Amino acid sequence: MQAVKIILEVIVVLASILLTLLILMHKGKGGGISDMFGGGIGASAGTSGVAEKNLNRLTIIVALIWVVLIIALDLLFKFGLIH
């Protein structure tokens, strides 16, 4: 079970980094952190509604995976399957 814990923790870290990057890529609504880094995604991609919708979907999927992994780790700790 220790290997499962390590694998889940590595996936949580990778999902956290990916989620942070995806959030920063969103088109800024004005004055946000994405404007500090050049407006997030490029000007040509930022004008496309399809690109923004796909980015939203990907962000939601990664966020859901992150939440499920956090809950799974918590349950494994709670029931004493991993230490």
Domain ranges of the chain: 2-78
Q: Could you give phi then psi for residue 74, rounded to 5 degrees?
A: -65, -45
Query: pLDDT tens digits, residue range 5-59?
Result: 899 999 999 999 999 999 999 877 765 555 566 655 555 544 568 888 999 999 9
Alpha carbons 41 and 13: distance in angstroms, whole number: 23
Reported pTM: 0.72
The residue with greater pLDDT, 29 or 63, is 63
- pLDDT computed for residue 21 by the predictor: 96
pLDDT > 70? residue 79: yes
